Amino acid sequence: MKLGDPTLDQLRIFLAVVEEGSFGGAARRMDRAVSAISYGVAQLEAQLAVTVFEREGSRKPTLTDAGEGLLAEARSVTDRLDALLAKTQSLHAGLESSVGLVIDVMVPGEITARVLRDFRKSFPTIALRLRVEGLGAVASCLIEEDGQLAIGGPIIGDDPDLERQAIGSVELIPVAAPDHPLTRPDVAPGESREHLQLVLSDRSTRTEGREFSVLSPLTWRLGDLGAKHSLLKEGLGWGNMPRHMVAGDLSNGRLLELDLPEKPGEHYTLSALWRRNTRLGPATNWLVDAFISELKGP
């Protein structure tokens, strides 16, 4: 048996009858005559060689088993077309079809979550590709993987391939577990060099040979800020952490802020970064403004 090709209009009529519960309801919703709705359903049934509604014995059309089986597929087809049309309208309006975003691990997670939640509400047709990296790997993802925007730290801010706009900062503080020797109030200058320092490591080669707030020759290099956090709480070393990430540990005594003579803590400046040979679109500009608003606070 050779089946025909139902039209999208016939599928929309079918779904309207199901959702409105009657041919009359579908006609009012679609602003058509009842006869046009009935004809559309009949044509759909003819094309697919099945009956989708039981009409006899009831004024209300009831789905047949075949109609039930086709319902999900019909919705899927029309949903995909609606998404296609919405994206096409966005492109005509100048919106990006997709945005590649790279976030520095130092950005507070709750800020990233709020911005991305609002982005999805504001730009539902735009595909967002997200990466979370640290140090030079932020720039590598932006440049080598054809991203549109990065929120990164000062380490990559002077890259000649990138434009930058400062948007806020994160406070870094030296911390250790309560029983660590460096938690004493009378730590001597240079004593931090005698103890293992946990250091966030760059997954890329962009900062090869450069050190950032590294005081001790005894280091463990970690590519994951969460792993560093866990090792610090276990007393396996000392190191700088974003204050927002250890605030709970400081309040419950799991970690202590160190008062070291070298004052290795700092304000980690965050910037919006993009390639100099590109121009930011409306959605990407929206992301920049949203991160500025969140990072600078009320």
Percentage of the chain exceeding pLDDT 90: 50
Q: Is the per-residue pLDDT at 108 higher than 70?
A: yes
- pLDDT tens-digit map of 168-178: 999 999 999 99
DSSP string, 100-159: EEEEETTS-HHHHHHHHHHHHHH-TTSEEEEEEE-THHHHHHHHHTT-SEEEE-GGGTT-
Q: Is the per-residue pLDDT at 181 higher than 90?
A: yes
Mean pLDDT of the chain: 87
Name the phi and psi angles at 3, rounded to 5: -95, 155
Buried b (16+ CB within 10 A) or exposed e, 124-153: ebbebeebbbbbbbbbbbbbeeebbbbbbb
Q: Is the per-residue pLDDT at 100 higher than 90?
A: yes
Q: Is the per-residue pLDDT at 23 higher than 80?
A: yes
* Cα–Cα distance for residue pair 198/205, rounded to 1 Å: 19
pLDDT of residue 163: 85
Percentage of the chain exceeding pLDDT 70: 89
Q: Is the per-residue pLDDT at 159 higher than 90?
A: no
pLDDT grade for 128, boundaries at 50, 70 and 90: very high
Q: Is the per-residue pLDDT at 297 higher than 70?
A: no
Poorest-pLDDT segment among 76-80, 212-216, 251-255: 212-216
pLDDT of residue 243: 95
pLDDT of residue 87: 57
pLDDT of residue 246: 96
pLDDT of residue 219: 92
Q: Is the per-residue pLDDT at 150 higher than 60?
A: yes
Instruction: Check the CA dihedral 103-104-105-107 and report its sign.
Output: negative
Please indicate whether residue 94 or residue 21 has the higher confidence score (pLDDT). Answer: 21
- pLDDT tens-digit map of 24-77: 999 998 889 999 999 999 998 898 899 999 876 556 888 999 989 889 999 888
pLDDT of residue 264: 87
Q: Is the per-residue pLDDT at 229 higher than 80?
A: yes
**Per-residue CA distances from 75 to 14, 82, 189 (Å):** 10, 10, 70
Q: Is the per-residue pLDDT at 22 higher than 60?
A: yes
Poorest-pLDDT segment among 9-13, 153-157, 190-194, 256-260: 153-157
Mean local confidence (pLDDT), 169-197: 93
